[in-house]
Amino acid sequence: MKYPCSVIFAFFLCTTAIHDINAQEEHEPTPKDVLVKLVNDYYTINIKIFKANSTIKDIDEVFELFTDDFVYIHPKYGGTYTRQELYDGYVRNQKKGGYDGSVIDIKVINMITGLDAIVTEKKFINKTDTGTKEGDAQMALFEFKSGKISKIFEYW
């Protein structure tokens, strides 16, 4: 069966346009992708901080992800902390040797994304004398403003 050139050309244009749309979708991050990356970066940098040889520069790196009015809420461990109070706590823990490499990873089990918010289910992976051990599942809510983390509420 022969098709007129115009039909073949129209088919070519449609498949090329669909390919271009698909390629564009693969390369341009969505707002959801940006939020997920921020949360993953937060956890990745925290693993660097938890190492025995971490530096103030590592702590500064995680705080670059936060808004100026950032708030950390963890009712089980003292309640609400301003950005500065949390920063001071990180530095104090580091100076006292609280970051000793015993937490070696954070395993994100699930993420639910919403409008400027993500809820994570995660487990700390701890080093033991015989290998590693997963901690209990924990839940955290991240809220975002202007492309940065504005609040973390820990529910564990």
8 Å CB contact between 52 and 101: yes
* CATH code, domain with 100: 3.10.450.50
Residue 135 lies inside a defined structural domain of this protein = yes
Residue 125 lies inside a defined structural domain of this protein = yes
> Which residues, including other chains, have CB under 8 Å from residue 92's CB and lie 6 or more apart?
98
- In terms of residues, how long is the chain? 156
Q: Are strands 148-154 and 66-74 parallel, antiparallel or unpaired?
A: parallel
Residue 21 lies inside a defined structural domain of this protein = no
The mean predicted confidence, pLDDT, of the chain is: 89
Task: Determine phi and psi for 144, rounding to 5 degrees.
Answer: -130, 145
Residue 78 lies inside a defined structural domain of this protein = yes
What's residue 79's pLDDT? 93
pLDDT, mean of residues 129-154:
97
> Which residues, including other chains, have CB under 8 Å from residue 136's CB and lie 6 or more apart?
123, 156
Residue 22: pLDDT band with limits 50, 70, 90: low
Residue 103 lies inside a defined structural domain of this protein = yes
- Helix (H) or strand (E) holding 81, with range, is strand 79-82
**How many domains in the chain?**
1
pLDDT-above-70 percentage for the chain = 83
pLDDT, mean of residues 34-63:
97
pLDDT, mean of residues 57-74:
98
Domain that holds residue 122: 31-154
Residue 60 lies inside a defined structural domain of this protein = yes
Residue 7 has pLDDT above 70, yes or no: no
Residue 94 lies inside a defined structural domain of this protein = yes
* Per-residue pLDDT tens over the stretch 93-104: 999 999 999 999
What's residue 29's pLDDT? 87
Residue 104 lies inside a defined structural domain of this protein = yes
